[in-house]
């Protein structure tokens, strides 16, 4: 239920396979400065993969355990339940032909921030997505 979102916090949601192609190294690099610059921002990360350890090590090193929550693998039937907990959906893919995840996030009422790669710019209208070069 989107009405249960904390109005005093901004929650960024990432639901993805945690692998190189999905831009996990970009996530590792951007979470600490975002948390430092915006103390009201938290992250929920759903997914699993061989890059999860890099994220966990970063959270430990930067002492962000109270700001970054790991859910592990999220079955598709549960993705909407995760999405509606957030305000922003973050997609860091390095390559993508068509990203269903950003469509699902926008349908759940989240603002989408994504890398400007592949077919992503064609998925949502400009007022629903903010694109950035990887």
Distance, CA of 88 to CA of 55 (rounded, Å):
19
Evaluate if residue 1 carries a pLDDT over 80.
no
Q: How many CA atoms lie within 13 A of 70 on its CB side?
A: 19
The pLDDT value recorded for residue 30 is 97
Mean pLDDT of 93-117: 92
Predicted TM-score (pTM) of this structure: 0.93
Question: What are 45-90's pLDDT values in tens digits?
Answer: 999 999 999 999 999 999 999 999 999 999 999 999 999 999 999 9
Q: Yes or no: say if 114 and 129 are a contact pair by the CB < 8 Å rule.
A: yes
Mean pLDDT of 110-121: 93
The pLDDT value recorded for residue 74 is 97
Question: What are 10-47's pLDDT values in tens digits?
Answer: 999 999 999 999 999 999 999 999 999 999 999 999 99
The pLDDT value recorded for residue 92 is 95
The pLDDT value recorded for residue 7 is 82
């Amino acid at each position: 239920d989107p009405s249960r979102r904390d109005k005093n916090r901004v929650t960024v949601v990432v639901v993805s396979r945690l692998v190189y192609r999905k831009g996990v190294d970009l996530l590792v690099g951007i979470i600490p400065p975002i948390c430092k610059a915006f103390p009201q921002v938290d992250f929920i990360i759903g997914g699993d993969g061989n890059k999860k350890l890099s994220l966990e090590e970063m959270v430990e090193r930067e002492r962000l355990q109270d700001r970054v929550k790991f859910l592990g693998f999220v079955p598709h039937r549960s993705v909407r339940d995760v999405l509606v907990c957030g305000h922003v959906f973050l997609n860091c893919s390095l390559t993508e032909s068509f990203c269903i995840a950003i469509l699902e996030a926008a349908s759940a009422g989240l603002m989408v921030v994504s890398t400007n790669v592949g077919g992503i710019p064609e998925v949502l209208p400009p007022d629903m997505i903010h694109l950035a070069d990887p």
